[in-house]
Amino acid sequence: MIRLRDVQKRYSLGEQSVLACAVDSLEIAAGEQVALIGRSGTGKTTLLHILAGILRPDRGEVEIVGARMDQLGEAARDRHRGRHIGMVYQTFNLLQPFTALENVLMGALFGRGAGGDARLRAEALLQQVGLADRLHHRPSELSVGQVQRVAICRALINDPELVLMDEPLGNQDKATGGQVLDLMLQIATDAGKTVVMVTHDPESAERMQRTVDLATLRGASGEAHSTEAAR
Amino acid sequence: MKLVSISLRNLRIRLVATVLTMMSIVVATALYAAILTMAEQTEARYEGSIGGYQAIAGPNGTSELELVLNTVFNVGEAPGLIPLEVCQKLRAGRGIGRRSQVRYAIPQARGDSISSYSFPVIATLDEMFSLFEWKRAPLVFAAGGPFTFSYAQLTEMAEQLAAYENALRAELPAEQRPARPQLQPAWRQCVIGARVARTLGLQLGDVVTPVHGKAGEFGSHEHPEASCEIVGVLAPTNSPIDSTIYLPLGIHLLIDGHEAGVFVSPQVQGKSPAQIEAMPTSAGRIALTAVIADPKDHMGPQILRREFGSHPEAQVAWPQDVVPKFLRQIGNAADALAVIAWLVLLVAAVSITVAIYNTMNERRREIAIMRSLGARRAQILTIITGEAALLSFFGALLGLVLCHGAAYALQDLVEDLTGVFLDWAQLRPWELWLLVGVTGIGALAGLAPAVKGSMTQVADNLAQNY
């Protein structure tokens, strides 16, 4: 499902080149639920963007859901992401002018297409997460928990093989966030989806099947070494 | 959901900016459409209204254009007077071969009007409905028929009026003067054009009262003694004929107060106007404003040109020559105005570019979110270009609606001022092209911000927490 080899991403900061993310080796099997943990600044979000194909690494191999993202052009990576990867962000990233239903449908529009039964699927998903009566509400008219559930529906609308989550509990109280995360994991488990979550919160990480400390993945050139803590 | 739904929503959430930007497109499109409409309908109207007006004899000292505009299109005041003898000369054919060079020469006198719409009144002969050919056939009546007042009656009345006038000028006592011709009840009939009937709700049997001058203007006054019964309503011609009231010349000549203007004074060197006024007159000096004529054959125009080339009082204008020249001038003016309209459109296009470009910074996150969902750069480009195109499309559509609305509202005013009938309901093929063109220009105007939007760095902007 996910295979990374000798991946490195650097940023230019003035004349300096800063190493943002380095992974010697990482493999995640289909159906696994993995938490990537690390302190702030360890490159969690950069890694997530590499997994999503939003960023292309400066070097290394990135294979995601059968596609070598490091070899694909930008448009192809976008298309692959739209069809095979669902994303849930810390800030939910719903588009404010659009209703809950439209936000979910937008995921379909840029993924497998918003025609056909996309609307029915979107309504069914929103109903599944308890938002049947909030289809036409805008994000500003929803609670934080409801907004996150809409974000989850949007991530699942294309029935993706992989769901990437970025600090999904970061912006809300833990009780509500925990419930929503449990819901997400339940849906993913039922559908056999692979879930990768980046977080700095050990409590969230505990809900996943496996935790990978980003610091342990940095082994290239003797700078770091890679370890995996299996649960 | 489609990309166009996103474009539409983006326009809606910035409604004020959208409306303000759209206004410039509306104005530019309306302006351009109005110019094209006016130029096209002026051309159609003027070319289509020439009809049977082959030659027009009118006073010297005025332009041929003025003469044609007044006689054919009812524009402006009659430029002057010509004596009846001009008409007699045309009909008698004193030229080569001493035969008439014209199929008809119908005298006209105008100066009165009807109602506050100032529909012009033309005093003429019944030949206007029997000999005059409107597009190779006499004018068609929608109801009723022509009035009766013949050329023979006119010449007889002219003789009587001249005798009476000469007695007055000779200051003969009243008992020695011949009787002034009396208005015959049978002459109190008129024929009205289709638009007059429609606008004023007139029908056969109704009575209209001519007003001297333009109704409602200072110095105008009614002539109840010349009230006429409507005996005929003409079928629509889509020409100024539709806005005209025709009545017998006999009424015009005998209307109270018109005595002073019934005869045209000749130009005599060495005599003062008062002395000329006191000189005996003749039937041939009866005043007309124009004579419409139709040369018999291809030689006719040349003979008429030669005969009237050095005429002291009259000239002949040829609508077939004058109108195309006039239209070319209008065309040039329309072209100049069209350039201005295109410049306004250009400014509007720039305003679209600026308006959308200015939103790009605040929309970086929104674009980054869409990209993270799988949107390609090309789709972002389509969404933003689509906004500009939609804004332009609706602006152009409103502009066309505004143009048609203005044509409807100003229809009567424009017809009164220019003689051009604006058909507000008519849709023309170029309107579709204008709609497509303005939309295309708008889309092009949206390209620059669209490119900027599509270049948005996804990772950087997703990371920001607004």
Q: What is the pLDDT of residues B5-36, one digit of tens each?
A: 999 998 998 899 899 999 999 999 999 999 88
pLDDT confidence band for A217 (50 / 70 / 90): confident
The yes-or-no verdict on residue A225 having pLDDT over 60 is no
Give percent of chain A with pLDDT exceeding 90.
45
Average pLDDT over residues B132-153: 90
Give the Cα separation of B87 and B421 in Å (integer).
Answer: 31
Name the interface residues of B facing A (CB cutoff 8 Å): 1-3, 5-6, 9-10, 12-13, 365-366, 369-379, 458-459, 462-463, 465
The yes-or-no verdict on residue B234 having pLDDT over 70 is yes
Task: Report chain A's mean pLDDT, rounded to a whole number.
Answer: 85
Task: From chain A, pick out residues whose CB is under 8 angstroms from the CB of B362.
Answer: none
Give the Cα separation of A12 and A20 in Å (integer).
Answer: 10
**Nearest C-alpha in B relative to A117:** B1
Would you state the pLDDT for residue B263? 86
pLDDT confidence band for A221 (50 / 70 / 90): very low
Q: Shortest CA distance to B234 belongs to which of B350, B390, B153, B119?
A: B119
The yes-or-no verdict on residue B300 having pLDDT over 80 is no
**Nearest C-alpha in A relative to B456:** A54
Average pLDDT over residues A179-197: 85
B431-443 tens-digit pLDDT: 999 999 999 999 9
B403-449 tens-digit pLDDT: 999 999 998 788 777 767 778 888 889 999 999 999 999 999 999 99
Per the DSSP assignment, residues forming a β-bridge with A28 are A2
Would you state the pLDDT for residue B152? 93
Q: Is A219 left (phi over 0), alpha (psi -120 to 50) or beta?
A: alpha
pLDDT confidence band for B98 (50 / 70 / 90): low
Per the DSSP assignment, residues forming a β-bridge with B104 are B294
- A74 in reach of chain B (CB within 8 A): yes
How close B402 comes to chain A (CA, Å)? Answer: 31
The yes-or-no verdict on residue B96 having pLDDT over 60 is no
Q: Shortest CB distance from A75 goes to which of B3, B372, B376?
A: B376
Would you state the pLDDT for residue B191? 95
Would you state the pLDDT for residue A227? 34
Question: Does B373 contact A46 at a Cβ distance shorter than 8 Å?
Answer: no
Would you state the pLDDT for residue A103? 94
Question: Does A110 contact B375 at a Cβ distance shorter than 8 Å?
Answer: yes
Average pLDDT over residues A195-201: 88
Task: From chain B, pick out residues whose CB is under 8 angstroms from the CB of A139.
Answer: none
Give percent of chain B with pLDDT exceeding 70.
93
A188-202, B355-369, B410-424, B432-446, range with greatest mean pLDDT: B432-446
Would you state the pLDDT for residue B404? 94
Q: Shortest CB distance from A95 goes to which of B369, B374, B463?
A: B369
SS (H, E, C) chain A: CEEEEEEEEEEEECCEEEEEEEEEEEEECCCCEEEEECCCCCCHHHHHHHHHCCCCCCEEEEEECCEECCCCCHHHHHHHHHHHEEEECCCCCCCCCCCHHHHHHHHHHCCCCCCCCHHHHHHHHHHHCCCHHHCCCCHHHCCHHHHHHHHHHHHHCCCCCEEEEECCCCCCCHHHHHHHHHHHHHHHHHHCCEEEEEECCHHHHHCCCEEEEHHHHCCHHHCCCCCCECC
B37-83 tens-digit pLDDT: 888 888 877 777 777 788 899 998 889 999 998 888 888 888 888 99
Phi, psi at B213, each rounded to 5°: 80, -160
Phi, psi at B95, each rounded to 5°: -85, -150
Question: Does B1 contact A102 at a Cβ distance shorter than 8 Å?
Answer: yes
Give the Cα separation of B346 and B441 in Å (integer).
Answer: 8
- A54 in reach of chain B (CB within 8 A): yes
Question: Does A108 contact B1 at a Cβ distance shorter than 8 Å?
Answer: yes
pLDDT confidence band for B311 (50 / 70 / 90): confident
Give the Cα separation of B375 and A109 in Å (integer).
Answer: 8
Task: From chain A, pick out residues whose CB is under 8 angstroms from the CB of B5.
Answer: 102
**Nearest C-alpha in A relative to B457:** A54
The one-letter amino acid code at B68 reads: V
Contacts of A183 (CB under 8 A, 6+ apart): A129, A149, A152
Would you state the pLDDT for residue A172? 61
Give the Cα separation of B234 and A80 in Å (integer).
Answer: 74
The answer to whether the CB of B196 falls within 8 A of the CB of B244 is yes
A164-174 tens-digit pLDDT: 988 776 656 66
Give the Cα separation of B192 and B144 in Å (integer).
Answer: 10
Q: Is B131 helix (H, G, I), strand (E, B) or coil?
A: coil
Average pLDDT over residues A37-65: 89
Task: From chain A, pick out residues whose CB is under 8 angstroms from the CB of B378.
Answer: 75
B201-227 tens-digit pLDDT: 999 999 988 877 666 666 666 777 778
Would you state the pLDDT for residue B380? 95
Would you state the pLDDT for residue A219? 58
Average pLDDT over residues B378-386: 95
The yes-or-no verdict on residue B280 having pLDDT over 90 is no
Task: From chain A, pick out residues whose CB is under 8 angstroms from the CB of B3.
Answer: 109
Average pLDDT over residues B445-454: 94
Element (H, E) at B208: strand B207-208
The yes-or-no verdict on residue A231 having pLDDT over 50 is no
Q: Mutation target for A interface from B5, B372, B379: give the one with most A CBs within 10 A.
A: B372
Question: Does A95 contact B371 at a Cβ distance shorter than 8 Å?
Answer: no
The answer to whether the CB of A21 falls within 8 A of the CB of A55 is no
Would you state the pLDDT for residue B80? 86
The yes-or-no verdict on residue B270 having pLDDT over 80 is no
Task: From chain B, pick out residues whose CB is under 8 angstroms from the CB of A91.
Answer: 465
Question: Does A54 contact B459 at a Cβ distance shorter than 8 Å?
Answer: yes
Task: From chain B, pick out residues whose CB is under 8 angstroms from the CB of A118.
Answer: 1
- A55 in reach of chain B (CB within 8 A): yes
Would you state the pLDDT for residue B50? 76
The yes-or-no verdict on residue A226 having pLDDT over 60 is no
pLDDT confidence band for B330 (50 / 70 / 90): confident
More confident residue, B300 or A152: A152
**Dihedral, CA of residue A217, residue A219, residue A224 and residue A225, to nearest 10:** 70
pTM confidence score = 0.73
Question: Does A78 contact B1 at a Cβ distance shorter than 8 Å?
Answer: no
Half-sphere exposure at residue B190, Cβ-oriented, CA atoms within 13 angstroms: 29
More confident residue, B454 or A13: B454
Q: Shortest CB distance from A82 goes to which of B13, B365, B374?
A: B374
Would you state the pLDDT for residue A157? 92
Eight-state DSSP code of residue B214: S
The two tokens of residue B37 are 């409409």
pLDDT confidence band for B298 (50 / 70 / 90): confident
How close A219 comes to chain B (CA, Å)? Answer: 25
The yes-or-no verdict on residue B93 having pLDDT over 70 is no
Question: Does A95 contact B370 at a Cβ distance shorter than 8 Å?
Answer: yes
Inter-chain Cβ pairs, chain A and chain B, closer than 8 A: 76
Would you state the pLDDT for residue B260? 62
Q: Which residue has the tokens 């119908």?
A: B106
**Nearest C-alpha in A relative to B380:** A110
Task: From chain B, pick out residues whose CB is under 8 angstroms from the CB of A52.
Answer: 372
Weakest mean pLDDT among A166-175, A191-200, B171-180 = A166-175
Would you state the pLDDT for residue B406? 93
A115-142 tens-digit pLDDT: 878 999 999 999 988 899 999 999 999 9
Half-sphere exposure at residue A34, Cβ-oriented, CA atoms within 13 angstroms: 21
More confident residue, B347 or A183: B347
B175-192 tens-digit pLDDT: 888 888 888 888 889 999
The yes-or-no verdict on residue A222 having pLDDT over 60 is no
The answer to whether the CB of A80 falls within 8 A of the CB of A65 is yes
The two tokens of residue A165 are 């989550």
Weakest mean pLDDT among B145-159, B242-256, B293-307 = B293-307
The yes-or-no verdict on residue A81 having pLDDT over 90 is yes
Q: Is B101 left (phi over 0), alpha (psi -120 to 50) or beta?
A: alpha
More confident residue, B464 or A162: A162
How close B408 comes to chain A (CA, Å)? Answer: 39
**Nearest C-alpha in B relative to A51:** B372
Q: Which residue has the tokens 């929103």?
A: A126
Would you state the pLDDT for residue A154? 93
Q: Mutation target for A interface from B14, B373, B383, B456: give the one with most A CBs within 10 A.
A: B373
A 77-116 → B contacts, CB under 8 A: 78-79, 81-83, 87, 89-91, 93-95, 97-98, 102, 105-111, 114
